[in-house]
Amino acid sequence: MSSRLTSVIPDDSDGEGDSDHDKEMRKQCPSCQEDYDSDYAGRCTGKECYEKANVTQEELKREIEYLKAKVAFLRFWSPLDHQNRSSGPCFTDIVLVASDDGGGPSVPVPAHKAFLVSRSPVFKAMLENEMEESRSGIIKISDVSFDVLHAFVNYLYTAKAYLDEQMAYDLLIMAEKYQVKHLKAYCEKFLVSKLKWKNSVKSYTFARYHNAKRVLDAALSLIIDNMAKLTKKKEYKELVKNDPHLVVEIYEAYLAKQINTAAQKVSFYQNCY
């Protein structure tokens, strides 16, 4: 008895007993070299392939679990995590202070010099060259709130951040300033996911000034596709007033797309006639 789990196929080596439809629906598995009915989920159902697929799937599951465990092992717990504070001293040796915290007393954010140095080339230069921050053990961060600074430092330890749109903007600025590329990419991905034509002008302006190319390209594409609606919006009129050079960039991109579309149409009609 055949070990395959498919229906029995007549043993005609020349295939004369099969209809044209049957021939079309039967395929040969490149792995086990046996025929199978492509109607059956579009894959080979031979026992050998079936077992091999199951083994591969189990191997992938084990590999995923191993990688998850490895990431958890390598991740350094944050000194800002209250759940871990009870387990022992944090041995922090530096604090970061937000200078823009509503005029109230600044709450220090504890950290480790070695960790900051490993995460940011800016912190590395600051702390390795005997600058004031290295000697005093205090890094003052200008134009940032405590909440943003707290989220920034926590991300350096855990690679996690709880984002809304404003937090993503603020953390991207921090990531750009301190050259934390992974955080910047993380924020860009979030902002692109939140893009709509209504916030495309704001997103484009922000991305242009903070070198966020992924957001810039996605926002520009939305703007070009919705020019008729956007030119009537308050945000666009403010852009014309405050940043006319950005409006020029937008129109250049818009006209370039129009010209390209027209050229494609001309080429299409020429090929037709």
Is residue 4 in a domain?
A: no
Closest CA to 200 of 180, 224, 183: 224
CA 171-172-177 angle, 5° bins = 95
CA–CA separation, 27 vs 211, rounded Å?
51
| The last residue of a domain, from among 170, 192, 214 | 192
Tokens for 245, please give them. Answer: 């050079």
The whole-number pLDDT of residue 82 equals: 53
Q: State pLDDT tens for residues 203-215.
A: 999 999 999 999 9
The strand pairing partners of 110, in sequence order, are 95
Integer Cα distance of 34 and 182 in angstroms = 47
What is the domain range of residue 125? 77-192
Same domain (yes/no): 209, 178: no
Give the count of beta carbons closer than 10 Å to the beta carbon of residue 207: 23
Range of 23-32, 48-57, 94-103, 183-192 with top mean pLDDT:
183-192
Question: Does 158 lie in the same domain as 65?
Answer: no
- The last residue of one of the domains, among 192, 208, 224, is 192
Higher-confidence position of 206 and 76: 206
pTM of the model: 0.68
Tell me: do 54 and 127 sit in the same domain.
no
Q: Which residues of 227-238 are buried (b: 16+ CB within 10 A; e: fewer)?
A: eeebeeeeebee
Residue 97, beta-bridge partner list: 140
User: 187 and 100 share a domain?
Assistant: yes
Same domain, yes or no, for 88 and 119? Answer: yes
Q: 7 in a domain, yes or no?
A: no
d(C-alpha 41, C-alpha 111), whole Å: 54
Residues 85 and 70 in one domain: no
Residue 10 pLDDT greater than 80, yes or no:
no
CA distance 105 to 18: 85
Whether residue 170 is found in the same domain as residue 199? no
Residue 83: count of CB within 10 angstroms of its CB: 8
Residues 69 and 114 in one domain: no
Residue 268 belongs to domain with CATH number: 1.25.40.420
Q: What is the pLDDT of residue 132?
A: 83
Which of 30-44, 77-91, 236-250 shows the lowest per-residue confidence on average (mean pLDDT)?
30-44
Is residue 231 a part of any domain in this protein? yes
Total of domains in the chain? 3
| For range 100-113, the mean pLDDT | 77
Which one of 176, 192, 208 terminates a domain?
A: 192
Which percentage of the chain shows pLDDT scores above 90?
A: 37
Q: 200 and 226 share a domain?
A: yes
**C-alpha to C-alpha distance for 42 and 37, rounded to whole angstroms:** 8
What confidence tier does 65 reach under pLDDT thresholds 50, 70, 90?
A: confident
The whole-angstrom distance between residue 237's C-alpha and the CA centroid of its chain comes to: 31
The reply to whether 63 and 108 lie within a common domain is: no
- Whether 133 and 152 map to the same domain: the answer is yes
